[in-house]
Structure 1
Amino acid sequence: MVNYIPSSIIFAAKIRAARGLLNWSQGELAERAGVSKQSVTRIEVGATDPRLSTMTALNEVIRAAGVELGDDANGIVQFSISREKLLPPSG
């Protein structure tokens, strides 16, 4: 049986995973989202509960790059990846 996991821990895992899919450093994610690198680091290690504005900025820049973060009705974390945005154009 899974015990309650704080949403900040789930968000941290989603951000780390999305960053990995995009091959971005913490600094690159922070710069693109307009937040400090320290904020990204603290979020990813679970040292802070991020502000709604910070979570929104991070989600928006990740989504714009082609990765959608979410969970299903059972709480399973899901990612959707846009092939058009992630893969270089062929031809």
Structure 2
Amino acid sequence: MITSAQIRAARGMLDWSRKDLAKSSGLSFASMMRLESFDGVPSSNFKTLEAIKAAFEQAGIEFIGTPEDRPGVRLNK
């Protein structure tokens, strides 16, 4: 599972707007706004978070740690 902070950090590393992430993941802009407003793991459908994770991974982001132990991201290009 990924955290809201990881979502924000990954967007920053790729210089993506929420609109860019929505387009890449096939989700709505409103979903991006809601998911990034949480602390920790957003309360959302598993498929939604998987779509976001897959979009980032396809763009070269690697998710590291766990939500409980040093969650982070790194660019894997």
Structure 1 length-normalised TM? 0.72
Residue 49 of structure 1 pairs with residue 58 of structure 2: no
Output one character per residue of 1:44-65: Cα deviation in whole Å (capped at 9) or x when no partner.
Answer: 0129612101100000000000
Larger Rg: 1
Gaps of 5+ in 1: 1-6, 84-91
Gaps of 5+ in 2: none
**Which residue among 40, 43, 58 is the counterpart of 1:64?**
58
Structure 2 length-normalised TM? 0.84
How many residue pairs were aligned? 74
Q: How far apart are the structure 2 equivalents of 1:24 and 1:77?
A: 20
Give the number of the structure with larger relative contact order, counting CA–CA contacts within 8 Å between residues 6 or more apart. Answer: 2
Structure 2 SS opposite 1:35: coil
